[in-house]
């Protein structure tokens, strides 16, 4: 038996640095692209530069003759014309769901869609040959604008569907019996002089997940099982869906997600490239590798958000909200992504947020366009919902002449009212909005900043101050399987775990959650160390390989801790129960008299005891154990939550707007989040920081733009403007703790909190800074130009907006004109 360190105080709550960081930060680890089995053939996808066109011919001859090329294949060459990518979240039985082929067959439906693949001895040769594939196109009308796309007589993305409307999904609280009829509420408010009706349209711009590691897949068909390595956040989903789609027995495919460099929902997919690698590897009998460039990632990996939100809120003049109507147009792009239509629908249950809203209706129209498909992106549906409700609460406050924070307070669920069943029928188990808000207000110096704002307005300062408020809650921890089933989702929401006590007392924990940067290995080790009373260092977390972790539903929707972590707890409880039996046997005591504490099984009232490591050794040798059990402590658990968890928080932003230039400066940001109990405060804070940066980026920086032809103009990180640390202030973050009552750890989830809450806080702050100049809306991202123009418009100064040439020199990559790249480049 090896020696083990003494377990010290509880690991839970300890701000440990992450055990995975040494290998990640030094680059010592292996990502998918670092894996190259002997004999690997490299795949490059030839992509359409045109959004919508008939393919009239593809001349492969020059490419086929290029050095090192094994073959150039279209869908027809691969016999893959009948294969459609999986889409697992149909909203209704009437959904119009165009089948997405692995490669465009006769028609391309978005710029970036693959039309052929080149296979070569090296990635460079594949890339060179791809330039030699000559495709001819007959352009068709691009379909870019959602409102035009749903109008009668619109150009159609898929003429066989006879419409661009994929589906209309409605949740009506009145019809569901969970609340009042919103049409009645609006009619009543309109007729009532003591009520107001506020209508606003908000736009959720298109975003790109922009994970750090580009997508990559390696498929090795040379063994008995096909082995697929992929930079995915969903190896289990990928395995099931790949085999179901391609007709391979599930037992014949092993999927490995090695260390994965971020996902943010962008790797919650089953991609054409992954399936193409399988198909081609089988055809050639050789390992096949595909790794995308950043430009390919921006162009062809699924995008996020992209909604038009028409929101109507009704309220009594005393501030009591009486109804909320939500109508969405959600851009699905050219095809329905794996979970694409489910994303806006996840928001359906969150527009009512933390408020007591008696009447509610949600109508979502999913629209097909000739753009890159949209799918999961950090927060998925909930940021959109939070943005809309928090923006319109500010608008309502202005309408009523109320302080926006006071108005929120008047309408939110008070802490005495939990558990509270909302207008959509969800039961919030716990929360304390007063506590989080009070702490945020104090840390922010809300009153002091309001005074400063007043002073600057009075002085007509060039730089005006705005205060942005956002409160939020989210349904986290996806999810109860029955609920997902009722929403039409094709799978469940449980998670699996196994705990293996090794002979030497070390512990292997297998989880079906598939971390890709979150810090699971550290947080899960802390939980297990406490549960089993073993040192943190003695716990090994195994995941991300379907051979090691055969059962799981992966990582997204802030579910890893809340569902996967609880599965681990349940498995450790079984280990302890088994160990207790063996301990009683060894100590010749009755099981009822055995106490377990900090890794020691002791006979109550005596000094006699056995460490869990000794029990593990006894179970391993099998020399002496109770007759009614097997000689093993190993245990499995599958945990299916009964409810979501509901983290919440209050975020406050102090925003300075330079009214001369329109420049927005985020001066100070305070957030107080209630994420339940916290396993590792350092990791939780990191998640909040990253989430804030991502949410602030939507408010101020990021936008995927298409030109009139349907070409994405953000082809590099020069044009797709991600903020860096230099663009963001030092955040003030804090937590308060109202433990979740829905799980034994009291945890709620933190992965999406910052992203969900921060976007409306920023935009509310920008508008608050310049509302006195007459501005009431600035579209996201609130760039300096947009803010300046909004001020000019509000002041009645017409601006002469010159046509924008998105390809003009000065517009992009070192001001390179892609159409004329000549010039002295040094």
Partner 1 sequence: MIPSQFDYVKPASVDEAVQALVQAGEDAKILAGGQSLLPVLRLRLAAPSVVIDLGGIPELRTISDDGDRIAIGAMAPHHDVLRDDLVKQHVALLAQATSTVADPQVRHRGTLGGALAHADPAGDLGAVALALEAEFVIAGTSGTRTVTAADFFVDYFTTAIGEGEILTQVRFPKYTGWTSHYEKFNRTAQAWSMCAVAAALRIDGGTIAEARIGLTNMGTTPIRATGVEQALVGQSATADAVRAAAEHATEGTAAPSDADAAADYREHLARVLTGRAVLAAAG
Binding site for partner 1 (CB under 8 A): 123-124, 127-128, 131, 293-295, 660-661, 663, 701, 705, 713, 716, 718-719, 721-724, 726-727, 783-785, 788-789, 799-806, 808-818, 821-826
Please spell the DSSP secondary structure of 30-47, one letter per residue.
--GGG---TT-EEEEEEE
**Residue placing its CB nearer to partner 1 in the complex, 41 or 189:** 41
Please, which residue, 522 or 714, has the CB nearer to partner 1? 714
Q: Give SS3 for 628.
A: coil
- Taking the least distance from each CB to partner 1, the nearer of 627 and 726 is 726
Distance in Å, CB of 159 to partner 1, minimum: 32
CB of 714 to partner 1, least distance (A): 9
**Min CB(382)–partner 1 separation in Å:** 26
- To partner 1, the closest distance from the beta carbon of 516 in angstroms equals 23
Non-local (6+) Cβ contacts of 803 within 8 A are none
Task: Answer whether 43's CB lies under 8 Å from 121's CB.
Answer: no
Structure tokens, 211: 């994970």
* Residue closer to partner 1, measured from CB, 574 or 807: 807
485 or 723: whose CB is closer to partner 1? 723
d(CA 477, CA 460): 48
Question: How many CB atoms lie under 10 A from the CB of residue 41?
Answer: 22
Closest to 578 measured CA to CA, from 536, 654, 636: 636
Closer to partner 1 by Cβ: residue 772 or 807? 807
Let me know if 161 is exposed, middle or buried by CB neighbors in 10 A (0-12, 13-18, 19+).
middle
Helix boundaries (H) for 588-714 = 612-621, 681-700
Query: Looking at beta carbons only, is 249 or 821 nearer to partner 1?
Result: 821
Nearer Cβ to partner 1 (597/724):
724
Sheet of 226-230, strand order: 69-73, 114-120, 41-47, 288-291, 216-220, 226-230, 253-256
CB nearer partner 1, residue 153 or residue 821: 821
| Least distance between partner 1 and beta carbon 129 (Å) | 11
Task: Tell the burial category of 805 from Cβ atoms under 10 Å away from its Cβ (0-12, 13-18, 19+).
Answer: exposed
Shortest reach from residue 715's CB to partner 1, in Å: 8
CB of 446 to partner 1, least distance (A): 28
CA angle 308, 312, 314 (to 5 degrees): 165
| DSSP reduced 3-state for 684 | helix
Write out the H or E segment, with its range, that includes residue 394: helix 382-400
Return the number of the residue (121 or 663) whose C-beta is nearest partner 1.
Answer: 663
Q: Which residues of 336-360 are buried (b: 16+ CB within 10 A; e: fewer)?
A: bbbbbbbbbbbbbbbbbbbbbbbbb
Residue 95 tokens, joined: 């959904």
Shortest separation between residue 782's beta carbon and partner 1, angstroms: 12
For residues 397 and 319, give the distance between their C-alpha atoms in angstroms, rounded to a whole number.
8
Given a contact cutoff of 8 angstroms between Cβ atoms, the answer to whether 523 and 679 are in contact is yes
Least distance to partner 1, CB of residue 205, Å: 12
Tokens 């107001």 map to which residue? 196
Query: In the bound complex, what is the minimum distance in angstroms from residue 717's beta carbon to partner 1?
Result: 10
CB 505 within 8 A of CB 620: no
In 3D, which of 340, 416, 401, 389 has the Cα closest to residue 166?
340
- From the number of C-beta atoms within 10 Å of its C-beta (0-12, 13-18, 19+), residue 447 rates as exposed
Q: Say how far apart CA 782 and CA 802 lie, in whole Å.
A: 19
- Complex with partner 1: residue 16 or 807, whichever CB lies closer: 807
- The alpha helices in 701-797, defined as continuous H runs, are 753-770, 784-794
Closest to partner 1 by CB, 214 or 557: 214
Nearer to partner 1 by Cβ, of 12 and 701: the residue is 701
Provide the minimum distance between the beta carbon of 292 and partner 1 in the complex, in angstroms, as a whole number. 10
The partner residues of 323 in beta bridges, in order of sequence, read: 314
Question: In the bound complex, what is the minimum distance in angstroms from residue 814's beta carbon to partner 1?
Answer: 5
C-alpha to C-alpha distance for 566 and 744, rounded to whole angstroms: 7
Give the shortest CB-33-to-partner 1 separation in angstroms.
Answer: 13
Which of 561, 567, 559 lies closest to 237 in space, CA to CA? 559
Residue 674 beta carbon to partner 1: minimum distance, rounded to whole angstroms: 32
For 661, which DSSP code? Answer: T
Q: Is the dihedral of CA 369, 373, 378, 380 positive or negative?
A: positive
How near is the Cβ of 768 to partner 1 at its closest, in Å? 22
For residues 131 and 537, which CB has a smaller minimum distance to partner 1 in the complex?
A: 131
How would you classify the pairing of strands 539-542 and 507-511?
parallel
Query: Which DSSP symbol is given to 101?
Result: B
The residue (of 294 and 482) whose beta carbon lies closer to partner 1 is 294
């Amino acid at each position: 038996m090896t020696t083990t360190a003494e377990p010290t105080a509880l690991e839970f709550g300890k701000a440990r640095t992450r055990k995975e960081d040494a290998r990640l930060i030094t680059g010592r680890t292996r990502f998918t692209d670092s894996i190259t089995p002997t004999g690997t053939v490299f795949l490059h996808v030839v992509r359409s530069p045109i959004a919508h066109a008939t393919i009239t011919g593809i001349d492969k001859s020059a490419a086929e003759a290029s050095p090192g090329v094994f073959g150039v294949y279209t869908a027809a060459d691969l016999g893959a014309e009948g294969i459609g990518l999986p889409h697992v979240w149909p909203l209704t039985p009437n959904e119009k769901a165009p089948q997405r082929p692995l490669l465009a067959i006769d028609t391309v439906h978005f710029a970036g869609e693959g039309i052929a693949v080149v296979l070569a001895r090296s990635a460079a040769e594949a890339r060179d040959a791809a330039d030699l594939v000559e495709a001819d196109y007959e352009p068709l009308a691009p379909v870019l604008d959602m409102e035009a796309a749903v109008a009668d007589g619109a150009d159609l993305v898929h003429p066989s569907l006879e419409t661009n409307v994929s589906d209309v999904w409605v949740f009506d609280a009145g019809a569901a019996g969970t609340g009042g009829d919103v049409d009645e509420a609006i009619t009543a408010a309109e007729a009532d002089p003591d009520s107001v009706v506020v209508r606003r349209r908000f736009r959720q711009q298109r975003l790109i997940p922009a994970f750090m590691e580009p997508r990559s897949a390696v498929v090795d068909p040379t063994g008995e099982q096909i082995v697929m390595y992929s930079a995915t956040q969903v190896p289990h989903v990928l395995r099931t869906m790949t085999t179901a789609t391609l007709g391979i027995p599930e037992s014949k495919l092993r999927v490995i997600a090695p260390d994965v460099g971020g996902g943010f929902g962008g790797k919650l997919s089953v991609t054409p490239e992954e399936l193409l690698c399988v198909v081609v590897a089988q055809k050639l009998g050789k390992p096949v590798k595909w790794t995308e460039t950043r430009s390919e990632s921006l162009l062809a990996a699924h995008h996020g958000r992209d909604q038009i939100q028409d929101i109507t809120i009704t309220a009594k003049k005393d501030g009591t909200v009486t109804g909320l109507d939500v109508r969405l147009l959600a851009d699905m792009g050219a095809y329905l992504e794996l979970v694409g239509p489910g994303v806006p629908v996840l928001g359906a249950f969150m527009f009512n947020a933390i408020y007591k809203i008696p009447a509610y209706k949600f109508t979502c129209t999913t629209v097909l366009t000739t753009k890159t498909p949209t799918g999961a992106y950090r927060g998925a549906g909930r940021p959109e919902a939070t943005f809309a409700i928090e923006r319109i609460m500010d608008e309502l406050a202005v309408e009523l002449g109320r302080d926006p924070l006071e108005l929120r307070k008047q309408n939110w669920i008070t802490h005495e009212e939990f558990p509270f069943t909302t207008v959509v029928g969800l039961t919030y188990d716990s929360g304390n909005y007063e506590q989080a808000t009070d702490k945020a207000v104090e840390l922010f110096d809300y009153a002091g900043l309001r005074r400063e704002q007043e002073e600057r307005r009075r002085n007509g300062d060039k730089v005006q101050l705005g205060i942005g408020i956002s409160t939020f809650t989210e349904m986290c921890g996806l999810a109860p399987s029955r609920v997902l089933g009722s929403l039409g989702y094709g799978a469940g929401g449980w998670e699996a775990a196994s705990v293996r006590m090794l002979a030497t007392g070390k512990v292997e924990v297998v989880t079906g959650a598939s971390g890709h940067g979150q810090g699971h290995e550290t947080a899960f080790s802390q939980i297990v160390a406490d549960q089993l009373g073993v040192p943190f260092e003695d716990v090994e977390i195994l995941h991300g390989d379907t051979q090691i972790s055969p059962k799981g539903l992966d990582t997204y929707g802030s579910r890893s801790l809340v569902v996967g972590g609880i599965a681990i707890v349940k498995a450790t409880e079984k280990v302890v129960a088994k160990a207790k039996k063996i301990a009683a046997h060894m100590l010749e005591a009755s099981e009822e008299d055995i106490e377990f504490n900090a890794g020691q099984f002791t006979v109550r009232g005596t000094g006699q005891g056995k460490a869990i490591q000794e029990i593990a050794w006894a179970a391993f040798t099998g020399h002496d154990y109770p007759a009614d059990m097997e000689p093993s402590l190993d245990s499995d658990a599958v945990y299916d939550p009964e409810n979501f968890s509901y983290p919440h928080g209050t975020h406050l932003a102090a925003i300075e707007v330079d009214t001369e230039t329109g420049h927005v400066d985020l001066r100070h940001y305070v957030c107080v989040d209630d994420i339940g109990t916290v396993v590792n405060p350092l990791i939780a804070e990191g998640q909040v920081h990253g989430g804030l940066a991502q949410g602030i980026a939507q408010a101020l920086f990021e936008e995927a733009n298409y030109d009139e032809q349907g070409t994405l103009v953000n082809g590099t990180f020069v044009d797709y403007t991600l903020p860096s640390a230099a663009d963001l202030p030092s955040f003030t973050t804090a937590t308060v703790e109202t433990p979740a009552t829905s799980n034994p750890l009291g945890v709620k989830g933190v992965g999406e909190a910052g992203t969900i809450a921060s976007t409306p806080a920023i935009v509310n702050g920008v508008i608050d800074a310049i509302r006195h100049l007459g501005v009431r809306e600035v579209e996201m991202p609130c760039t300096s130009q947009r803010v300046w123009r909004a001020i000019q418009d509000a002041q009645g100064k017409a601006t002469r907006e010159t046509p924008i040439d998105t390809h003009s020199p000065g517009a992009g990559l070192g001001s390179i004109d892609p159409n004329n790249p000549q010039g002295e480049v040094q």
